[in-house]
């Protein structure tokens, strides 16, 4: 049992003076490419990472829900009879939001048993690696087992997304939960966010002597406020004005017409989504035909599009990307929702120390908070025990 699993078991025992029925875990994710395409019914290509949230859970003989974790002193208690999104707040909205959302996908919350849950995680919070989806997915698989719901993982991803949208209040898409639930070691999940068809595609980083370096800028971000929602609104406006259900229905051939009909800002938002969808398809094809050393230029182009057209980068992310490229990364881009969080740099293994040193030095030279740099590997999705 991992050290994290041991501490979760111990945490459960000390908070609840009982044994858990079992432990479940789910990973954070990194998105290789396909940003702000998920809520436009488009394509994404993320993978689950070797940082996980572990939950210990047991059903109770009554209707009480008790939630505890290593990151908060308090134990939050709520009756299943009072479980509505409006009654949820703070960190416990993630696990309790999942319990509520399961009720929207077939669980009969009028008859299920209450539960105790203890949560811990080594997914960094606020780094854009989906610590929240890791909690949601771990709780979703745990309750799917204990409440014997038999729900498919694609449905559990929608459960996690609904929890995030309604209980946490972040208008996010389906990517993060899908990666956390469907990921496999050494592979990424090519997901069509309209059909939810998912294909697991080997990355081949190790045989190519490549590593994926995370550069957490430590600029914090939140998707329940501000920029994320306004980008989503721009995309919806663009789709409406161009007469399609979603931007997924457009290709680069539609850009001249878009240029005639849209104001400059909306045009740039739309252009990002259209070209990013194409870059995901190109990345998957290039990876299959030529291997991972050939995808660098697509990662770079994705960053430029997010910086200039979608305008969700920040100076720290641009600095991380430019410095990593200059130090030998073969491709780099900001990853996740933007406005802070992390960049990724696909880097030859032998150059990891140099990229790390140069990025660290560039931040120090500008008086910026020191970034956190670490390598992640593609890992298996959510599972029982560890
Ligand atoms: C966040 C959201 C995802 C997705 C990305 C941007 O991570 O949770 O649904 O929209 O931003 O690609």
Cβ 101 vs Cβ 85: under 8 Å: no
CA-nearest residue for atom 9, ligand 1, is 173
Question: Which residues of the chain register pLDDT less than 50?
Answer: none
In tens, the pLDDT along 232-260 reads: 999 999 999 999 999 999 999 999 999 99
Ligand 1 lining (C-beta closer than 6 Å): 31, 35-36, 38-39, 172-173, 175-176, 223, 336-337
pLDDT of residue 93: 97
CA-nearest residue for atom 5, ligand 1, is 337
Strand pairing of 187-192 and 43-59?
antiparallel
Q: Is position 176 annotated as part of the catalytic site?
A: yes
pLDDT of residue 225: 63
pTM of the model: 0.96
Both tokens of residue 206? 């190790």
In tens, the pLDDT along 55-101 reads: 999 999 999 999 999 989 999 999 999 999 999 999 999 999 999 99
pLDDT of residue 112: 98
Instruction: For ligand 1, pick from 40, 49, 135, 172 the residue to mutate: most ligand atoms within 8 Å of CB.
Output: 172
If 0-12 CB within 10 Å is exposed, 13-18 middle and 19+ buried, where does residue 385 land? exposed
SS3 152: coil
Centre of ligand 1 to C-alpha 20, Å, is 33
* b/e code 100-130 from CB counts within 10 Å (16+ = b): bbbbeeebeeeebebbbbbbbbbbbeebbbb
Centre of ligand 1 to C-alpha 175, Å, is 6
pLDDT of residue 317: 98
Please give the DSSP secondary-structure letter assigned to residue 86: G
User: What is the number of the ligand 1 atom nearest to the C-alpha of 172?
Assistant: 9
Smallest CA-to-CA distance from 194 within 150, 248, 231, 143 is with: 248
Both tokens of residue 378? 């593609």
Cα–Cα dist 47/359, whole Å: 24
Instruction: For ligand 1, pick from 36, 269, 272 the residue to mutate: most ligand atoms within 8 Å of CB.
Output: 36
User: What is the number of the ligand 1 atom nearest to the C-alpha of 128?
Assistant: 7
Centre of ligand 1 to C-alpha 31, Å, is 9
Centre of ligand 1 to C-alpha 382, Å, is 19
Centre of ligand 1 to C-alpha 65, Å, is 29
pLDDT of residue 119: 98
Cα–Cα dist 349/301, whole Å: 22
pLDDT of residue 226: 84
Marked catalytic residue, from 116, 176, 300, 309: 176
């Amino acid at each position: 049992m991992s050290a994290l699993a041991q501490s979760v078991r111990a945490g459960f025992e000390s908070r609840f003076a009982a044994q858990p029925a079992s432990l479940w875990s789910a990973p954070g994710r990194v998105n290789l490419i396909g940003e702000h395409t998920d809520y436009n019914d488009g394509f994404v290509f993320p993978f689950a990472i070797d940082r996980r949230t572990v939950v210990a859970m047991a059903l109770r003989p009554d209707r009480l829900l008790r939630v505890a974790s290593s990151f908060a002193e308090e134990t939050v208690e709520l009756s299943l009879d009072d479980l509505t999104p409006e009654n949820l707040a703070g960190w416990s909205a993630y696990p309790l939001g999942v319990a509520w959302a399961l009720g929207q996908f077939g669980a009969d919350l009028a008859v299920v048993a209450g539960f105790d849950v203890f949560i811990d995680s080594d997914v960094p919070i606020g780094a854009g690696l989906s610590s929240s989806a890791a909690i949601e997915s771990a709780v979703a698989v745990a309750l799917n087992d204990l409440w014997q719901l038999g729900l498919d993982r694609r449905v559990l991803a929608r459960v996690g997304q609904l929890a995030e949208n309604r209980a946490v209040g972040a208008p996010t898409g389906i990517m993060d939960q899908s990666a956390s639930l469907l990921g496999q070691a050494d592979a990424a999940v090519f997901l069509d966010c309209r059909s939810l068809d998912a294909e697991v595609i080997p990355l081949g980083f190790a045989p190519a002597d490549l590593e994926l370096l995370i550069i957490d800028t430590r600029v914090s971000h939140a998707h329940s406020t501000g920029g994320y929602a306004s980008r989503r609104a721009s995309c919806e406006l663009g789709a409406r004005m161009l007469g399609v259900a979603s931007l997924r229905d457009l290709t680069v051939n539609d850009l001249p017409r878009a240029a005639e009909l849209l104001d400059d800002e909306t045009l740039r938002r739309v252009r990002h989504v259209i070209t990013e969808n194409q870059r995901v398809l190109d990345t998957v094809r290039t990876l299959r035909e030529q291997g991972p050393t050939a995808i660098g230029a697509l990662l770079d182009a994705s960053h430029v599009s997010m910086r200039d057209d979608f305008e969700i980068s920040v100076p720290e992310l641009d600095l991380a990307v430019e410095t990593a490229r200059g130090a030998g990364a073969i491709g780099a881009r900001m990853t996740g929702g933007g406005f802070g969080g992390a960049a990724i740099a696909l880097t030859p293994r032998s150059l990891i120390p140099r990229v790390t040193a140069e990025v660290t030095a560039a931040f120090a030279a500008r008086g910026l908070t020191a970034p956190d740099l670490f390598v992640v590997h593609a890992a298996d999705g959510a599972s029982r025990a560890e």
